[in-house]
Structure 1
Amino acid sequence: MITKNMRIIDIIEKHPQTLPIFGQFRMACLGCGRDLFDTVEKKAAAQGIDVDELIRALNEAVKKRS
């Protein structure tokens, strides 16, 4: 289960199917690597993204793959 306290890089490494979800939520700069070490909560707050909605979408993507 993905939580808001997890680092983005840890999520993507364990669940690569979540990468498009980050893109859908316009999580900028993931490609440059700088933000990969932030937690989901920190990056979402910095970009004005609803962290609960993002977490739901990420967990759905993981569940579909299982």
Structure 2
Amino acid sequence: MARIDKMTKMADILAMHPQMAAVLASYGLHCQGCGGARHESLRQGATNHGLDVDELIARLNAVLDASDS
């Protein structure tokens, strides 16, 4: 399965797994339905919201890892 990194677009993250929207929302990132999600990278979103991008990457990839097992 694809891995998420700093340059992954928000729309691509949302398309990877149904739980991604809830994880992003728990960080205050309400990307589902946002037109900017197609163009904004995870790094841009995290930076714009004052979030630790590495923590966010770890949490999102943990969802993917759990779905693989």
Superposition TM-score, scaled by structure 1 size: 0.86
Residues 17 and 62 of structure 1 are in contact (CA less than 8 Å); yes or no, is this contact kept in structure 2?
no
Partner of residue 41, structure 2: 39
Structure 2 unaligned spans of 5+: none
1:4-63 CA-partner distances (Å, limit 9, x unpaired) = 1010001111222211110111114x2441331210000100110000000000000111
Residues 14 and 32 of structure 2 are in contact (CA less than 8 Å); yes or no, is this contact kept in structure 1?
no
Partner of residue 5, structure 2: 3
Structure-1 separation of matches of 2:67 and 2:32: 23
More helix by share: 1
Q: Percent identity?
A: 26
Count, aligned residues:
65
Residues 12 and 18 of structure 1 are in contact (CA less than 8 Å); yes or no, is this contact kept in structure 2?
yes
Structure 1 unaligned spans of 5+: none
Structure-2 separation of matches of 1:27 and 1:33: 10
Moved more, 39-48 or 12-21: 12-21
Superposition TM-score, scaled by structure 2 size: 0.83
